[in-house]
Structure 1
Amino acid sequence: MKLVLVRHVETTGNVEHRLNGHTESQYTSRGEAMKELLVEELIALDEKLAFDRIYSSPTSRAYKIAADVGAATGKQIQVDHRLREFNFGIFEGKTRDECCEIAKDEWDLWMEDYLDYVVPEGQSQREYHILCKEFLKELNSDETVLVVAHGGTVHGMLTSLLELPIDSKWHFDIRLGSITVVNYNDGFGMLSTMMTPPYDELIKNQPSLRESNVSVMKASVVNG
C-alpha cells in the first residue's frame, strides 16, 4: 500500500495561531494561491502513481483540495470523519493566551499530560491517534491512497505506520500544503517522501510562510 498524506494549506486560523481542530477556518489569499499549486501537484502525482482512492476530512480547508483533485481526475471523494483534526474541546478556535485566560487550570493539566488528558468537551491525543490507526486498518493493502486532511492526522498516521511512540510525532515537520508518502507492506512502514512545493518562491509579494507553520501545540508541549 502506498499512502499519500496531504495537509491543507494556509487559513486565517494558522496565521492567528488558533487551535482550530473541528472549527472551520477560511483560506487566506495566500492559502487560495497555495491550494491551486497543491492541486496541480497532486494531479501530476496521480498521473505517476494512479490513486485508487481519495479520502478527505469533512472540514472544508481539506475537503476543497480533495474535491478539486477528484474533479480533475474523475475520482470520487470519500469523506471520513476520523480524518478531522484533533478536537480541542473548550479550547477550539482560541489562541494559547485565550486558552489560559478562560481555563488556566485545564490548560495546565493538559500540558502536564497532553497524551492522556481528555480536554473538556474534546478528546485526548491518545484517543485521537487510535482513530487514525482504526482508519488505516480498513484500507486495502494493495492500493495507492490519497488522504487530504490535517497536520494532526498526518502525525497520527506516521507514528502508527512507522510504529513510533505518539510523542515522536514532533520530530516530523508537517508543513502547510505538504505531501508525505509512506509505503506500507506486510506490516512494515517506510517513509518514502516528505515534500512541500516552494510556495514562497511561487507566490509573489507575500511574506514567508514560516510563522504560519508554527504549531501552537508543538510550541506549548515541547518548549513549555
Structure 2
Amino acid sequence: MKLVLVRHVETFGNVEHRLNGHTESDYTPRGEAMKEILVEELIALDKKLSFDKIFASPTTRAYKIAQAVGAVTGKEIQVDHRLREFNFGIFEGKTRDECIEIFQSEWDQWMANYINYRVPQGQSQREYHDLCAEFLTELTEGETVLMVAHGGTIHGMLTNMLNLPLDCKWHFDIKLGSITMIDYNHGFGMLSHMTTPPYDELIPHPTPLTDAKKSAMRAAARAEAKTKAAHKKKK
C-alpha cells in the first residue's frame, strides 16, 4: 500500500499562530495561490500513481484541496472525521499567549504532560494517535491512497506507520502544502518521499495579507482574552 499524505496550505490561522484544530480558517491570498499549485501537483501525481481512493478531513482548508483534485480526476472524495486536526478544546482558536492568559493552569498541565493530558473539551495526544491507528487498520492492502489533512494528522500517521514513540513526531517537519509518501505493507512502514512544491519560486509576487482582516482578528481575540481573564479574577 502507498499512502500520499498531504497537508493543507496557508490559512489566516497559520499566520496568526493560532491553535486551530477543529476551528475553521480561510486561506490567505498566498494560500489560495499555493492551493492552485498543490492541486496541479496532485493531479500530475495521480497520472503517475493512479489513486485508488481519496480521503479528506471534513475541515474546509483540507477538504477543498481534495475536492479540487477529485473534480479533475473524477474520483470520489471520502470524508473521514478521524482525519481532522487535533482537538485543542478550550485552547481552540487562540494563540499561545492568549491560552496562558486565560487558562494558565490548564496550559501548564498540558505542557507538563502533553501526550497524556486531555485538554478540557478536547482530547489527548494519545487519544489522537489511537484514532490515526484506527483509520489505518481500515485501509486495503495494495491500494494507493491520497489523504488530504493536517500537520497533526500526518504526524499521527507517521508515528503509527513507522512504529515510533509519539514524541518522535517532532522529528518530521510537515510544511504547509507538503506531500509525504509512505509505503506501508503488513504493518511495516517505510518513508519513501517528502517534498514541498517550490511555492516561493512559483509565487513571485505574493499578495500582501489583508491587514484589515488580520488586525480585526487580533483585536477580537485580545478583547475575548481580557474579558475572560477579568471574569476569572472576579471568581
TM-score by length of 2: 0.87
Structure 1 segment 4-19 matched on structure 2, within 5 A: 4-19=4-19
Relative to total residues, which structure has the larger helix share, 1 or 2?
A: 2
Show the counterpart of 2:217.
none
Q: What is the CA-CA distance between 1:206 and the residue it aligns to?
A: 3.0
| Structure 2, gaps ≥5 residues long | 208-235
Show the counterpart of 1:50.
50
Q: What is the CA-CA distance between 1:56 and the residue it aligns to?
A: 0.2
String of CA shifts for 1:128-184, please: whole Å, max 9, x gaps. Answer: 010001000000011000000000000000000000000000000000000000001
Show the counterpart of 1:60.
60
Q: What is the CA-CA distance between 1:205 and the residue it aligns to?
A: 2.1
Show the counterpart of 2:74.
74
Q: What is the CA-CA distance between 1:98 and the residue it aligns to?
A: 0.3
Show the counterpart of 1:141.
141
Show the counterpart of 2:201.
201
Show the counterpart of 1:105.
105
- Give the Cα separation in 2 of the matches to 1:127 and 1:186: 23
Q: Which structure: larger Rg?
A: 2
Structure 1 segment 56-205 matched on structure 2, within 5 A: 56-205=56-205
- Where has structure 1 moved over 4 Å in runs of 4 or more? none
- Give the Cα separation in 2 of the matches to 1:53 and 1:125: 27
**SS of residue paired to 1:26:** coil
| Structure 1, gaps ≥5 residues long | 208-224
Identity of aligned residues (%): 76
Q: What is the CA-CA distance between 1:187 and the residue it aligns to?
A: 1.7
- Give the Cα separation in 1 of the matches to 2:174 and 2:100: 26
- Give the Cα separation in 1 of the matches to 2:191 and 2:12: 30
How many pairs were matched up?
Answer: 208
TM-score by length of 1: 0.92
Q: What is the CA-CA distance between 1:188 and the residue it aligns to?
A: 1.1
Q: What do you get for the CA RMSD once the two structures are aligned? A: 1.1
- Give the Cα separation in 2 of the matches to 1:43 and 1:179: 13
| Residue type at the aligned position of 2:161 | L
